[in-house]
Amino acid sequence: MRMWTARHVILLLALCGQHCWAQTGSADTTFRLLTYGLPRGDWQQAEQVVAQRWGISFHSVAGCIVSEHLRDSVKTVNDLVDARIRVKFGADWRARFDAEVEAEYSIIMEIISLVESLSYVKAKDEQLRSEGNGLYPVIILPDAGSYEVHLVGWGDVNGESAVVTYFKFEVDGKTRSVKLLSDRPTRD
């Protein structure tokens, strides 16, 4: 009987994932690249926004401690996916993709700065920091040029400690106008 190694399983999952059929009977055309390592926060959010536009997804298969075998397996899968991406977008796809991510990252950082500069947000952040906490922005993938920003932190809701969304905003990607959607703390 043949023994399945992690490399075989990852390769099989990746290849199967490249040609999944939805209930509609159409092929999933998303290019799925495997990743490992610590998440990169705001940069990763920008990367997700651009990846969505390009039809690419990133799937984390491990944290920061990985074996050489896993690195080799991820490289094998990603080389196959990269070849397919090159066919669709050209040999310079990664440079163009990364440039778009940098531009998107700049937009996200500007949006976060706008939201964090609001006086009531500053006051809540100061209060939470005095308690050993703070507010942290989470960007929801933009829809029609509008970004939803959640400011989250640790807190109590209904007497239970949990991750809490303190504020929700909608920010127009072009005009940078900020609209408060909710300032009612909700448990995530």
- Assess whether 84 and 159 both reside in one domain: no
Mean pLDDT, to the nearest integer, of 165-173?
A: 94
pLDDT band for 28, please (50, 70, 90 cuts): low
- Which of 68, 103, 138 terminates a domain? The answer is 103
pLDDT value at residue 83? 97
- Assess whether 96 and 121 both reside in one domain: no
List, as one string, the DSSP characters of 68-88.
HHHHHHHHHHHHHHHHHHHHH
Whole-model pTM: value is: 0.75
User: Tokens 């490399």 appear where?
Assistant: 7
pLDDT value at residue 29? 64
SS3 54: helix
**Distance in angstroms (rounded) separating the CA atoms of residues 71 and 159:** 44
- Which of 52, 68, 103 terminates a domain? The answer is 103
In this structure, the strands spanning 56-62 and 31-36 are parallel
**Distance in angstroms (rounded) separating the CA atoms of residues 188 and 185:** 9
In a domain, 111, yes or no: no
Say if residue 16's pLDDT is above 70.
no
Domain extent, residue 154, equals 117-187
Q: Could you give the number of structural domains in the chain?
A: 2
- Assess whether 163 and 75 both reside in one domain: no
